Structure 1
Amino acid sequence: MLEALDRLVVDWSDLPRARAQTKEILTELAADKQSLTMLLERAREEEDLFDKCEHHRLIDKLVIYDALDRGFRIRVHVSTDDHLDRPHDHRFSFSSLIMRGNYRHIRHELVGQAPDVPEDAQNDFEAVPTDLKVVPRFVTTERAGNCYTLHHSEIHTTYTTPDTVSLFLRGPAEKDRSIITERETGRVWWRYGEDQEKASRRESKRISKAYFDELTGRLRGMEVL
């Protein structure tokens, strides 16, 4: 499995081919608990990987393989118990394989003009647009074993069940920022990549080795590993 990852090159300009390629590699990795465990153990000890692991309100992200020079980075996603209606896009295209649990997946269309961001705004600039609407267009239920691919231009929302776990394989960033909306409050803000984030933002997402160990312990208890 690890040899296959070391040979893998993903070209996201051909999305159907990237979809088939990434589904195959994620399916194989999900079934290979020994390799997945080895990648998590390595991520804990290699600071360049561990530094990319993050805790967010809705999800924990553990980066286990980084090869953006060959078109991909792999993360393990563990959902939290929070659920918010936050339609958003991503700076990159990606594929996601659900390993455990399930979630309601809603794809949306943005109608209207997104707000401009002042030149001095570095991250998470909040605004209330006058005419921006997020309209649901397509709803599916993604269950364990399902794998889907999303282009970076698409807007979506996911509502997970407790302890939902997925393998997430992303491509290189294809734009500087992604948009996040919050239906309940009407807020809209931009999310930037780590190279443009404020230090305070980076620090707020960092996890400890103890928290990493807690997450991997939960993955073992859920028989993901």
Structure 2
Amino acid sequence: MASLTSTSTSTSTSVEADAVAFMESLPVVRWDDIEAAAEVAERIARRIGEDKEVLRLLVDRVLRTPELREQCACHALDDKIVIWDEPEKGLQIQLRLANTSQYERVHNHRYSFTALILAGAYNHTLYATDQPLDETADVTRFWPHFLREEQAGRCITLDHEQLHTTTTEPETVLLVIQSTAQKQRAFVLRQDDGTVSYRHGAAEETAERRAEMRMSDERLQHWITRLYALGVL
């Protein structure tokens, strides 16, 4: 994998160009083989997440890159800052930022992903079931078969079909590398009342909904300030 270096005489423009060249040199992640994808994606995640200079450059670049800035969004449980988007290589790279204490939801995702915990921690449970993932799902027929507290520094990869729950404290920060969407909707089941819902991609949201979720400049600056305070940047 290419390395990123700079000298004291480098201008901000040349340093950013080096960062972009480094990102463009990253290998393809082939998400159809989840074990091979996990190996490659973890190397990439650690290379970026453990190098604060690289991460600072990428976050700073978001402010001047409209196609990335427009994808930064606020959700019910976490916010996201998209720092790189190269779907043809299986590389959408985000910072995911827990904005509130989270409740138990058995769910899967529309995409496979690798996540490196940069700050905080979360409790992670994998589930199995023997029933269709639709509105008829019985909350009592989801069985946990793996439970672990994921601490800062741990890296996990999850296939888009895997059912799991995560509960985190506010300001837990993940560096996430995700595949393109593997299905139209993801299944979500609230464990407190058995309610089933689905998550869809931004392309299926209304313009009003996308505008509602778009991260404001104030919110983005808040997160950048917190990322420095948490030692991520």
Give the TM-score taking structure 1 as reference length. Answer: 0.89
Count of residue pairs the alignment pairs up = 213
Distance change in 2, residues 1:184/1:46 (3 Å): same
1:65 aligned partner = 84
Q: Write out aligned runs for 1:37-48 (5 A).
A: 37-48=56-67
The residue type equivalent to 2:39 in the other structure is: A
The question of whether the paired residues in 1 share the 8 Å contact of 2:78 and 2:97 is answered with yes
CA RMSD across the alignment: 1.5
* Distance in 2 of aligned mates of 1:72 and 1:92: 11
Shift of 1:130: 5.8
CA contact (8 A) 2:101 2:169 kept: no
Q: Does the CA contact (< 8 Å) of 1:39 and 1:64 recur in 2?
A: yes
- Can you give the 5+ residue segments of structure 2 that lack an aligned partner in the other structure? 5-18
- 2:216 counterpart residue number: 208
Of residues 150, 164, 182, the one that matches 1:142 is 150
Q: Matched residues in 1 for 2:110 and 2:207: separation? A: 20
| Code of the aligned partner of 2:87 | L
Aligned to 2:131: 112
Contact kept, 8 Å, 1:111 with 1:135, in 2: the verdict is: no
Give the whole-Å Cα distance in 2 for the aligned partners of 1:215 and 1:193: 23
Q: Does 1:157 align with 2:165?
A: yes
Q: Larger relative CO (CA 8 A, sep 6+): 1 or 2?
A: 1
Q: 2:105 aligns with which of 86, 94, 99?
A: 86
Give the structure 1 partner of residue 226 of structure 2: 218
Equivalent in 17, 36, 43 of residue 17 of structure 1 = 36
TM-score (norm 2): 0.86
1:199 aligns with 2:207: yes
- The percent identity for this pair of structures is 32
Structure 1 unmatched ranges of 5 or more: 116-127
Distance in 2 separating the partners of 1:75 and 1:47:
15
